[in-house]
Chains A and B, each alone.
Chain A
Amino acid sequence: MPAPWQEILNKIDDYRWEIPQSYKEGMLVPGLIFASESMLSHICEEQVFQQVANVAFLPGIVEHSLAMPDIHWGYGFPIGGVAATRVKDGVISPGGVGFDINCGVRLLRTNLTEDEVRPKIEQLVAELFINVPSGVGSEGKIRVNKKELDEVLIKGSPWIIEKGYGEAEDIVVTEEEGCMKGANPDKVSIKAKKRGIPQLGTLGSGNHFLEVEIVDEIYDRDAATAMGISETGQVLVLIHTGSRGFGHQVCTDYVALLGEAVKRYGINLPDRQLACAPVHSPEGQDYLQAMSCAANYAWTNRQCIAHWARECFIKVFSKSQRELGMEQVYDVCHNMAKIEEYTIKSKKETLCVHRKGATRAFPAGHPDVPNIYRNIGQPVLIPGDMGRCSYVALGTETAMKESFGSTCHGAGRIQSRSAAKRSLRGADVAQALAERGITVKAGSIASLAEEASQAYKDVNEVVNVTHMAGISRKVVRAVPLGVIKG
């Protein structure tokens, strides 16, 4: 029997596959999947293609409903989905951002080498595990009051940096400088704020992590140097988390609200999780303002965690932050809707770009790329699973032309959590990682099985597709040395 994709997709080239508009009645544009043929064979469920097609129903969508090579079956949008809608007559969909608003990745560099860190990795991981709250139900070490939470929601990570959590230099190397403008806490429910207060400064659970890693390949030496990464063996720190219960509640609230708006605006959708409202409508604007609050919460969250990670290194290596060279390379989100300008059919259009499990990938010269990276392009941080590797890449002009300045965000699951747990034991996964020199500490050992390498696509293959397709280009690869999981 042919795989589902063989009957659905038209091959454009080795890395581009189209879902024709005729696949499903009601699609306003075709779908476009960036993938290799061998990756498509991993996509066993037709639901993935259905989801790409469903997104093409969103009013005002332009060009294509896109899927990055780490695409997998989500809810509403596929994970790895990108959709751009015209601001003037299109919609915004909270489902196109997801529950974990501004889930993202922050990368810190150090001037330490593997030889210096490996002998102390057990101690370092233990210290990080104590100082970075993680796991289901964990609470932060800092407690903001209601007024301070509003400051977090309006001002983002610069607010907490002012309180001593980090360096002013961190701000310029954070997407949007750590603050979405237009955030309005009045558009956020009391429930979201109640969920948000105790969870600020927590890693969370699931696929969130903090990883100490070693540079093992440099593909573009000049670009790597611009990012302060100079040699293989250099130690980096990667933080992956988002807006925690705060963002989850904002999404929950607005999916319900916009579910009603859909009826008022007469929008026809094949999946209720795609609930949306015109970008210009009061409901759409309210969501944007609330989403921006969640984005600012997430940047503040990653800022706190980065600060504690630095403190742990300072303690374990008895060196100052300056001596450790522990500077931020970049912080980028992969669950977000942003208003951006693109040229569509030689016409300038203002679009609402939904990236659900996709990373912004702006090219060299783009005004939103920080000055220090303006000549090389925006760094793209792509975490893999805890047993393989992660990548630093750069945005490209091709991404601007073909994928609304977007690329992949990670490896992408191929195995369900329960299937992973059936076939693997968490303790065995930890043992196997230890044998490969990777120290792991997790709140729940069972969760390790869910996050094992076997449950994920090979991130090398995912990143190769984006590199070969030209929507981002590889700069550095790093392999894990120590991992903290929730």
Chain B
Amino acid sequence: MDKDFDIVNHTADVSIIAYGTNMSQAFANAAKALFNLITELDDVEEILYRDIKLTAPDQESLLVKWLNELIYLFDVEGIIFKRFNITQFNSTRLKARSYGEKVDSSKHKLKTGVKAATYHMLKVDKDNGCKVQVLFDI
């Protein structure tokens, strides 16, 4: 896989497509795309981590819940994550350790505020390599 994600045009908001050799990698890359919308990830160091454990009724909901959990941690704790190690994964359950650091206005330039991940145009595609699509409200 030569790229982790693409940003797709949408009139008011931003949609992303993330790729992976397996679904957990596509989920990790979707999270990377999310934080790439917020800031330049090259400026972010792996100083701390947070563990996330989630369950959802189906894989699409799991993806939305995963991304919304990360948005929540960014909003409340001010953490920008850049690497996502998903250790357990199936269609309704996810366990991950996410690495990053707290926002430091002297080195991080925040680009976009992301309100939430939505279900609109949500796609989880297992064919032709794994691919997920999410629209963020920004």
Q: Are A99 and B137 in contact (CB under 8 A)?
A: yes
In the bound assembly, the distance between CA atoms of A135 and B38 in angstroms comes to 12
The 3 closest A-B pairs by CB, nearest first: A75-B120, A272-B119, A205-B113
Q: Are A256 and B65 in contact (CB under 8 A)?
A: yes
- Distance from B80 Cβ to chain A, minimum over Cβ atoms (Å): 9
A470 at the interface (CB under 8 A from B): no
- Residues on A with beta carbons closer than 8 Å to the beta carbon of B110: 135-137, 443-444
Chain B: residues with Cβ within 8 Å of the partner, total of 36
> Would you give 25 A-B contacts (Cβ < 8 Å), ordered by A?
A45-B11, A72-B11, A73-B12, A74-B13, A135-B110, A137-B110, A195-B75, A195-B76, A198-B76, A199-B75, A204-B113, A205-B113, A206-B113, A251-B116, A252-B68, A252-B116, A259-B57, A260-B57, A271-B119, A273-B120, A416-B10, A417-B14, A417-B138, A418-B9, A447-B112
Q: Are B119 and A275 in contact (CB under 8 A)?
A: yes
Q: How large is the interface on A (under 10, 10 to 19, 20 to 34, 35 or more residues)?
A: 35 or more
> Per-residue 0/1 for B1-21: is the Cβ within 8 Å of any A Cβ (1 yes, 0 no)?
000000101111110000000
> Per-residue 0/1 for A202-246: is the Cβ within 8 Å of any B Cβ (1 yes, 0 no)?
001110000000000000000000000000000000000000010
- Residues on A with beta carbons closer than 8 Å to the beta carbon of B75: 137, 195, 199, 245, 248-249
For residue B39, which residue of chain A has the nearest CB?
A: A136
Given A75-B137, A259-B61, A416-B10, the answer on whether A205 and B119 have CB atoms closer than 8 Å is no
In the bound assembly, the distance between CA atoms of A255 and B71 in angstroms comes to 16
Q: Are B122 and A272 in contact (CB under 8 A)?
A: yes
- Distance from B67 Cβ to chain A, minimum over Cβ atoms (Å): 10
Where the two chains meet, the residues of A that have a C-beta atom closer than 8 Å to any C-beta of B are 45, 72-76, 79, 98-100, 135-137, 191, 194-195, 198-199, 204-206, 245, 248-249, 251-252, 255-256, 259-260, 271-273, 275, 413-419, 443-444, 446-447, 486
In the bound assembly, the distance between CA atoms of A273 and B60 in angstroms comes to 12
Q: Are A416 and B11 in contact (CB under 8 A)?
A: yes
- Residues on A with beta carbons closer than 8 Å to the beta carbon of B120: 74-76, 271-273
Q: Are B109 and A444 in contact (CB under 8 A)?
A: yes
- Residues on A with beta carbons closer than 8 Å to the beta carbon of B115: 99-100, 245, 248
B50 at the interface (CB under 8 A from A): no
> Per-residue 0/1 for B86-117: is the Cβ within 8 Å of any A Cβ (1 yes, 0 no)?
00000000000000000100000111110110
- Residues on B with beta carbons closer than 8 Å to the beta carbon of A255: 118-119
In the bound assembly, the distance between CA atoms of A135 and B119 in angstroms comes to 26
Q: Are A75 and B135 in contact (CB under 8 A)?
A: yes
B132 at the interface (CB under 8 A from A): no
For residue A191, which residue of chain B has the nearest CB?
A: B72
B34 at the interface (CB under 8 A from A): no
For residue A205, which residue of chain B has the nearest CB?
A: B113
Q: Are B116 and A99 in contact (CB under 8 A)?
A: yes
Extra contacts besides A73-B10, A446-B111 (17): CB < 8 Å: A75-B118, A75-B137, A135-B113, A136-B38, A136-B110, A137-B75, A137-B110, A195-B75, A199-B75, A204-B113, A205-B113, A245-B115, A251-B116, A256-B64, A416-B10, A416-B12, A417-B138
Given A136-B38, A256-B65, A271-B120, the answer on whether A74 and B12 have CB atoms closer than 8 Å is yes
- Distance from A403 Cβ to chain B, minimum over Cβ atoms (Å): 21
For residue A248, which residue of chain B has the nearest CB?
A: B115
- Residues on B with beta carbons closer than 8 Å to the beta carbon of A136: 38, 110-113
In the bound assembly, the distance between CA atoms of A229 and B138 in angstroms comes to 34
- Distance from A201 Cβ to chain B, minimum over Cβ atoms (Å): 15
Q: Are A444 and B111 in contact (CB under 8 A)?
A: yes
Q: Are B78 and A137 in contact (CB under 8 A)?
A: yes
- Distance from B81 Cβ to chain A, minimum over Cβ atoms (Å): 14
In the bound assembly, the distance between CA atoms of A273 and B10 in angstroms comes to 16
> Per-residue 0/1 for B41-59: is the Cβ within 8 Å of any A Cβ (1 yes, 0 no)?
0000000000000000100
In the bound assembly, the distance between CA atoms of A60 and B135 in angstroms comes to 28
In the bound assembly, the distance between CA atoms of A255 and B137 in angstroms comes to 13
- Residues on A with beta carbons closer than 8 Å to the beta carbon of B138: 206, 417
For residue B64, which residue of chain A has the nearest CB?
A: A256
Q: Are B119 and A273 in contact (CB under 8 A)?
A: yes
- Distance from A460 Cβ to chain B, minimum over Cβ atoms (Å): 20
For residue B74, which residue of chain A has the nearest CB?
A: A137
- Residues on B with beta carbons closer than 8 Å to the beta carbon of A415: 11
The listed residue with most A CB atoms (<10 A of its CB), out of B68, B113, B116, B137, is B113
- Residues on A with beta carbons closer than 8 Å to the beta carbon of B65: 256
Partner of A418, one of B7, B68, B71, B72: B7
- Residues on A with beta carbons closer than 8 Å to the beta carbon of B103: 137
Q: Are A75 and B13 in contact (CB under 8 A)?
A: yes
Given A418-B7, A444-B110, A447-B111, the answer on whether A72 and B12 have CB atoms closer than 8 Å is yes
Q: Are A272 and B12 in contact (CB under 8 A)?
A: no
For residue A45, which residue of chain B has the nearest CB?
A: B11
- Distance from B137 Cβ to chain A, minimum over Cβ atoms (Å): 5
Q: Are A486 and B68 in contact (CB under 8 A)?
A: no
Partner of B72, one of A72, A74, A195, A205: A195
- Distance from A40 Cβ to chain B, minimum over Cβ atoms (Å): 15
Q: Are A418 and B14 in contact (CB under 8 A)?
A: yes
In the bound assembly, the distance between CA atoms of A136 and B113 in angstroms comes to 5
- Residues on B with beta carbons closer than 8 Å to the beta carbon of A198: 76
For residue A194, which residue of chain B has the nearest CB?
A: B76
- Residues on A with beta carbons closer than 8 Å to the beta carbon of B116: 99, 248, 251-252
